[in-house]
Amino acid sequence: MSNQESVAVQEHGTSGRSTIVKVENLSKTYNGKLKAVDNVSFEIKEGEIFGFLGPNGAGKSTTINMLTTLIRPTSGKSEICGYDIHKQPNEVRRNVGVVPQEYTADEDMTGHNNIILCADLYGIPRSDSEPHADELLKLVELQDAANRKVSTYSVGMRRRLELACGLINYPKLLFLDEPTLGLDVQTRAAVWKYIRMFKE
Ligand SMILES: Nc1ncnc2c1ncn2[C@@H]1O[C@H](COP(=O)(O)OP(=O)(O)OP(=O)(O)O)[C@@H](O)[C@H]1O
Ligand SMILES: [Mg+2]
C-alpha cells in the first residue's frame, strides 16, 4: 500500500483535537522482497472515524498489524496514543483494542467466556471484567446468546462478539480490520451503528 494507491476516508470537523495516530513514512517489506506497505504517512485526530480502502493485498492488514505492534515495520515511525510503536510497545497495546480480520473467538466456549478470556489476557481482574463483559454483551445485543457456544453463532453474531472483545480493555483507540466483511446489509448497518456509538 502506498499513499497513492489507497484511499483514506476521513471525517471532517475534528480540527483542533489532539492527534491519536501519527504515521510517518511507514514501510513493510516481507522476506526482503515483497513490498506490502510503501512509505505511508497519515494522521488521525481523537474522536475521528478513519478508514482506509484498498484492493485485496493492498497492505491494509499489514498496516494495522504494524500499528498494533504485532509486526515490526521495515522502516518509518509511528506514535499511537502518544507512544512510539518501537520504543513503547506495551503502552501502545494497553491503549488500543483490535478486531482482526480473522475470527479469534474459541468456538467451544461461550460468548461470555470468550470476552472473559480476553480480559484475563490483559490481566484485568474478574471483579472488573465480569460486569464489563455483561455490559458489552448488552451493547452488541448478544446478552441472550451470552451463554451459548460460539459455534452456534451466526456470522453477524460472531462479528459483534469480536467487537465486544476488542473493547474489553477500555481502549482509547479501536482498530477494526474489515469489520463488516461477509455481513448482510442489515447487519452491516448494525455494526456501523455500534462503531458510531463507541465513538461517543
Ligand atoms: N506474513 C506475510 N509474509 C509474506 N507476505 C505477506 C505476509 N502477510 C501479507 N503478505 C503480503 O503482503 C501484501 C499485503 O497483504 P495484506 O494482508 O496486508 O493486504 P490487505 O490489504 O489486508 O488485503 P485483504 O483485503 O485481502 O485483507 C500481500 O501481497 C500479501 O501477500
Ligand atoms: Mg486484510
The enclosing domain of 188 has a CATH number of: 3.40.50.300
* Rounded CA Rg of the chain: 17
Ligand 1 lined by 57 (C-beta under 6 Å): yes
Residues of the chain with pLDDT under 70: 1-15, 200
pLDDT at residue number 9:
57
Question: How many domains does the chain fold into?
Answer: 2
> Among the three residues 71, 95, 119, which one is the final residue of a domain in this structure?
95
Nearest to 173 by CA among 192, 151, 199, 193: 199
**Residue at a domain's end among 95, 112, 144:** 95
Choose among 158, 174, 156: nearest CA to 99.
Answer: 174
The pLDDT value given to residue 181: 80
Q: Ligand 1: does its nearest atom lie under 6 Å from the Cβ of 59?
A: yes
Q: Which of 27, 28, 60 is the pocket-test mutation for ligand 1 (most atoms within 8 Å of CB)?
A: 60
Q: According to the model, what pLDDT value does residue 197 have?
A: 79
Residue 175 sits at the vertex; the CA angle it makes with 112 and 31, to the nearest 5 degrees, is 115
Domain of residue 198: give its range. Answer: 100-173+180-200
Shared-domain flag, residues 81 and 105: no
